[in-house]
Chains A and B, each alone.
Chain A
């Protein structure tokens, strides 16, 4: 197998692109795809300050690595979720990456800052761990982005993630969610701009990128991840992809190009009127936001009058 670009020995074949790449040209291919995504969707511009949510997994570390390689000003944000050994290990990978690449990293530990962790908080608030976790992460990302005056929050969602979510939303006709599938969400109502620069690359490419670039990441899954409902959508899409390379990208990008805007109205109608949380100042449809209720029920310290700059931008 030879590299499509230089005819040297290839390390990976990408059937969707009908191409094989050597290590060097594969890294370049991935970076080009990300650059193109940033341009096509007007995600951010050179000089903008980007906050990358990093978990220690392959996607977010690859995203951080690629953005820095492309010359963007990318700071990492790691959240200590307090999920036992998984959290300890993932933090080690993130800290090692930051040290090796001399990359700025912000760490927010839920226990230290808010007095709870995900397993305990979920139990106390009678939520599933992933729901407590998602709520916590969103709050901390938003807060850190606004506090640090970042221009955008970037996450490591890849083509497989987005295609699987789209597949689920189409399967069940969740039309209000179909209007929010864009890889870029504009800043509004005190929420920061959110972008997904990896949507042109699949999971296999992201894992390969880390291996080829020598990035160590946590391979073991979060122990709470069992039963993730997107998993069988991903498996189904991969079966289709095996028979018909390019199907996932056609499905996702075809939707964005030809259908997404038909659901704008439903997304808008489903949007709640937002005021401010009395306690933390975050945008919220009710007096006390879901995050502050979680913190309170988990017995942690409610962030009374946290000095946020919400809405200042």
Chain B
């Protein structure tokens, strides 16, 4: 069974989450404000309605200077 590898920043750390799920659902589950972060996969932006599959690797990047995710 795979899972979505999620990298959080400031400080950098990785967590595994059970997929599949949409980006919006991922942010909800992590209780993150959609204004404060972006989701990046393979150096590309992933929009809120995109589906994350098991074995995907995504980074949740804080966009607030001085902020963390």
**B44 contacts A11, CB within 8 Å?**
yes
Segment 233-279 of A: residues with Cβ below 8 Å from B? 234-235, 238-239, 241-242
Minimum distance in angstroms from B25 CB to a CB of chain A: 15
**B36 contacts A221, CB within 8 Å?**
no
With an 8 A cutoff between CB atoms, is B64 at the interface? Answer: yes
Segment 214-228 of A: residues with Cβ below 8 Å from B? 214, 219-221, 225, 228
Give the contact-size bracket for chain B: 20 to 34
Given contacts A11-B44, A13-B48, A242-B34, are A206 and B63 in contact (CB under 8 A)? yes
Q: Which residues of B contact A203 (CB under 8 A)?
A: 63-65
**A59 contacts B65, CB within 8 Å?**
yes
Q: Which residues of B contact A241 (CB under 8 A)?
A: 35
Total number of A residues with any Cβ neighbor in B under 8 Å: 34
With an 8 A cutoff between CB atoms, is A99 at the interface? Answer: no
Minimum distance in angstroms from B32 CB to a CB of chain A: 11
**B9 contacts A238, CB within 8 Å?**
no
Q: Which residues of A contact B40 (CB under 8 A)?
A: 211
Q: Mark B1-24, 1 if CB is under 8 A from A, else 0.
A: 000000001101000000000000
Which residues of chain B have a CB within 8 Å of any CB of chain A?
Answer: 9-10, 12, 33-36, 38, 40, 43-49, 61-67
25 residue pairs from A and B, CB less than 8 Å apart:
A23-B45, A59-B65, A203-B63, A204-B35, A204-B63, A207-B61, A207-B63, A211-B40, A211-B43, A214-B43, A219-B10, A220-B9, A220-B12, A228-B66, A231-B64, A231-B66, A234-B64, A234-B66, A235-B36, A235-B67, A238-B33, A238-B36, A239-B33, A241-B35, A242-B34
